[in-house]
Chains A and B, each alone.
Chain A
Amino acid sequence: MSGDALLAVTGLTAGYGPVEVLHGLDFTVGEGEIVVILGANGAGKTTTMRAVSGMIPRQGTVEFGGVDISGAKPDAIVRAGVSQVPQGRGTFTDLTVEDNLECGGYTVKGSIAEDLERWYGVFPRLAERRDQKAGSLSGGEQQMLAVARAMMSRPKLLLCDEPSLGLAPLITKELFKVLGNLRDEHGMSLLIVEQNAGMSLALADRAYVLETGSIVATGTGDELLADDTIKEAYLGVVN
């Protein structure tokens, strides 16, 4: 698998100061694939994302498109084609919607006018609000903005850190539809960390289960959805 994987992570160890949070993770994301890492609070989901995008010191190897990016800085990783939708959306609240998108295209050389129109087309609500400050958008709109902003850098791989966090179920459903479309219509690969098992596993091609910094199970989305321990732990279904 890792031979032709877009993202291949082996033995990923990371943490904060003396505290090790991730204890040697192995996972891959293939071309055009949605991979979900399922985990409860404190499992290490955000740390995994931050480690992949170079925001914290890490050990182990991270290969992207066959190139070792283990030691690369965040901006170099964005330029390589990995973009992140951070937890809590991380929009530039004081900047307008359009400025947010332009920041997303910061690493693109040349004009981003076409990219702007393209993502305004996908997210018409953002087009309507292009001159509004991002902080005045609703949570759902901000999440869409965060996705659109991440897409502005023309990535091959999109990292989504708990996109459903704080969103109403209906909005989450809409969002996951958008994420699915990114794969189906734009040929994107996605790595999503989530604790919303039901919706994310239904979307995922493959999934991993993360518990206290280690991967404890893996399979296709459907396989894990059918798994009794998963049901009990993440869906609150007791047989």
Chain B
Amino acid sequence: MSTNKPEAAGDSRTVVMVIEPEVLIRMTVAAYLRECGYKVIEGVVAADVWTVLEAAVRLDVLFCEVQLPGGTDGFSLARRLRQTHPAIDVILASGVAGAAEKSKDLCEEGPMEKPYKAADVAARIRVLLERREASAEKS
């Protein structure tokens, strides 16, 4: 096995790409969606989506934060993607609560429904953010 082979052959899971610039939200939402049975690709900026598509990796759903660094926000990315790749479903989310709520909606429609609540995902993200802030204040 070597680098630059982005996708295993024969993987039939629905592929969700999560674009989220805040690492603690990204890792929590991605872990949650993986537990729901999705194959998840994590990205930070809009350009990561095009990198995936140019590498011929199949993408079924884009789960994207509205406010993104790098000049292209979630709305612009969604508009362009609908023109170039209309088969990809786009879900826009905003902030911790929005990400939790939208990921819960996705899980309910996913291949392995689990009894998660959006509030639990949001609470988990908030705890992580608060711990980080408390740690930063101490140092």
Q: Do A and B bind each other?
A: no
Q: Which residues of A does B touch, CB under 8 Å?
A: none
